[in-house]
Amino acid sequence: MLNNKTIVVGVTGGIAVYKACDVVSRLKKLGANIHVVMTKSATEFVSPMTFQTLSNNFVTVDMFEEVKTWEVEHIELAKKADAFLIVPATANFIGKLANGIADDMLTTTVMATTSQLIVAPAMNTNMYKNPIVQENIEKLKRHGCIFIDPTSGLLACGDTGAGKLETPEKIVASVEKFFEEKEAKRDLEGIKILVTAGPTIESIDPVRYLTNRSSGKMGYSIASEAVKRGASVILVSGKTDLEVPSGLDKYIQIESAEDLYEAIIKEYNACDVVIQSAAVADYKPKTYSDKKIKKSDGDMIIELSRNKDIAQELGKIKGDKILIGFAAETNDLLENAKRKISKKNLDFIVANDLTTEGAGFKSDTNIVKIINSAGEISEYPKLLKTEVADVILDSLLKIMDNKDK
């Protein structure tokens, strides 16, 4: 049942709009509070009055129509939503959403919401298979959108193939499943997790520095998924181009390995778990020049000194904390990872081979092996980093359950 859930239903223009009427009716009967936003082209197929009658709420179409309440309508709808369902979603709407275009009431409202977006596409089969449309869909999936894939069959245009809107029964079942999983996965409530992410920077002079290729995507995914599952999360991050996840207890930006160590130590006692996904520089310049080092005719030699091994230092003061490490390697993956578990007193380590396509820095996907302190190895196929994050958090829960026994 969907009692007390507010679902905003976005309706775009296509012959499948008539099925959206059934979807709204079914959601309403399950107890949901439904608000419908239509594009102007959708009103060419079904009138707003139909959805207004089915939802028992005003239907919004035009950004500039006379206001019905004293509020900024698209912002209020965006805030109200527990989920945002687009049915049917045209190629045009998917393209606009994937590229951040907000030029009507529906796209503007979607851009303003932080709720889960669930998208049910419907279009001609050649449009659906078009590489540009598929790239847009994949881009939205990487940003966390849930897609209800269309089925194959005879389309209104006479073609046969993929692009037919999924049945109203299955669309509604997907919405129910989302809420069931969301409520079931509040399994980290009461747990305080510190996550490190991104690269560290070691300055040579005011212009130059040493760093690595970490994008921070893995750590940010872990932090975001942990928040969704109810944890209190502190994210300590090097510089990245990523948007800071919403819902964090605290966000701390650092630069050097020393900065990272000091930030962790400051928060350490209050945390139950430390997930160390940051790519930390092992070395730093032995001396820092406060003026730009000028080019000379000869070679320049930079003498490096060893940075503190943060994971090893935490292992020495572990206490009853759970420590999770990462091993990003280019060779001898398992041997190196297992050695790190023992040396750094980790509960488990997430190992990945940087030379494998679809794994490692910059990529939106990863291919990992999780190795626990007993040497047991769990292998996973190529997954989105958001999915890998859930795998890591599931493994964390197993460790916690075993500690409680």
Got the DSSP string for 332-354?
-HHHHHHHHHHHHT-SEEEEEET
Phi, psi for 322 (deg, rounded to 5): -105, 125
Residue written as tokens 């795998």? 391
326 in a labelled binding site: yes
282 in a labelled binding site: yes
In the chain, count of helices (H) and strands (E)? 13, 21
Q: Tell me which of 21, 145, 157, 271 is the catalytic residue.
A: 157
CA-based angle 73:75:78, to the nearest 5?
110
Q: Cα–Cα distance between 175 and 4 in angstroms, integer?
A: 14
340 in a labelled binding site: yes
Q: Is residue 145 annotated as part of the catalytic site, yes or no?
A: no
Instruction: Tell me the sheet residues that pair with 283.
Output: 306
Helix (H, G, I), strand (E, B) or coil at 331: coil
Helix (H, G, I), strand (E, B) or coil at 227: helix
Q: Cα–Cα distance between 384 and 366 in angstroms, integer?
A: 6
Instruction: Tell me the sheet residues that pair with 371.
Output: 349, 377
Helix (H, G, I), strand (E, B) or coil at 264: helix
Mutual angle of helices 91-98 and 105-112, in 10-degree steps: 40
Binding residues for CTP: 282, 292, 326, 340, 344
> Active-site residues: which are they?
157
